[in-house]
Amino acid sequence: MNIDLENLTIESAHASMKKGEYSARDLASEYLAQIEKKNKELNVYVEVFSDVLAQADISDSMFKNSTATLLTGIPIALKDNMLMQGKVVTCGSKILAGYVASYDSTVVRILKENGAVILGRTNMDEFAMGSSTETSYYGVTRNPYDTSRVPGGSSGGSSAAVAANMALVTLGSDTGGSIRQPAAFCGIVGLKPTYSTISRYGIIALASSLDQVGPFTKNVRDAEILIDTLSVQDNMEATSVKAEDRKVEFANTKKIGIPKKFLTGLAPEVEKNMGMCIITMKSLGYEIVEVDIPLMQYSLAVYYILQPAEASSNLARFDGVRFGLREEGKNLEEVYAKSRGVGFGKETRRRILLGTYVLSHGYYDAYYNKALAMQKEITRELKDVFKNVDFLMMPTTPTPAFKIGEKSDPISMYLSDIFTVPANISGMPAISIPSGLSSEGLPLGMQFMGPHFSEQMLFEVGKKFEEKIGFTPPVLK
């Protein structure tokens, strides 16, 4: 069977399976064939689950007994930090090699209840620490548009899977841009929802106050479907917000703000693309206004204090004693040192050390408390901006996808997240949508950011932009 995977959407796949044009097993088999064909070169999946076709058979039975939902039979892949009972989950790290999840994360439970077909787990930067998927214990994932380049990170495997037709949709996590940045690099849609809208229960934490699960899709409508399904209040997750408390303060001004002073270091083609997108939004009836958000420039600095601090605490549990890799030593301290020294990669060790330092006696007030105070001020400033404009618009990334190994300097790597971090610092939603190709055929992405709980408004403007921009990525062979 030859299914047009390139143009497939959740709704068109659902309609075809409902009509009996093909089965969930047929669809899953098509994606398995693509994975078999491409994964050796791209290194997207660290594991393809052995029960994919058995899952598809269950989906087919749901169509037969009329219990199917829009996600029934839809092939989806998970970032390798999402627990699925009975399946290995490693967070891209040697220290968790062979660890088997004892329960389902909430997002996996919901996917199972809806009859989705979970294909496997996708590669990622170790413990989500990276912007290129180069820090994974399982090797580098390659960009489907140019295999000499990165797919972005930390959810690079999830992004590349959708771009290369190795999954219809995927889930990733976004702590500082780890959904939107790889989505931009791979020419697809990526959404970071408002903090607390999708449960983090069963997601291996990087920085608990910043982490958020979100979708990778080929179009805005598919992202909307996933968000509508997964955005449920969850008693298993302490920060989960009840539906009635998800109140939107939306200005409804038909104005879009451009933080021009913040947009420095743009590659020429990214800057040109930004200009074209401004013209596009004006043609859609939006007024484009320049906004000044002075404190937003400190978002990256705040992020690289808060994130390592929280990570150093969250990763303390990986000690060679309770689970995961264990290296023997003469005493407990040596077991800790050897297990963590062998199990953690260079970038993870770097951030643990940095986080431990900023939380240590004598530096807690100097760094961590000041970062928390600045976080509140940045959030307040952004809330004030959204009283006067509906959305902020800016490039998702300063450059197109960079070459593998090009950003060996940590600072240059961290700067690739400069435009995505403010949404995590403030907890606000932001979506990256394909906006064109560079002269080298590399995807470019435009980011729209809105006030808390404004996902539905982001979907509306995103669909208009998507339709008007007319960007259709080339078929990836």
* pLDDT higher than threshold 90 for residue 205: yes
* pLDDT higher than threshold 80 for residue 471: no
Per-residue pLDDT tens for 65-103?
A: 999 999 999 999 999 999 999 999 999 999 999 999 999
What is the pLDDT at residue 243? 87
Average pLDDT over residues 180-202: 98
- pTM value > 0.95: yes
Per-residue pLDDT tens for 401-416?
A: 999 999 988 999 999 9
* Highest CATH level, class, for 1-290+391-477: alpha beta
Q: 60: burial class by Cβ within 10 Å (0-12, 13-18, 19+)?
A: buried
Catalytic residues: 79, 154, 178
Per-residue pLDDT tens for 323-377?
A: 889 999 999 999 999 999 999 999 999 999 999 999 998 899 999 999 999 999 9
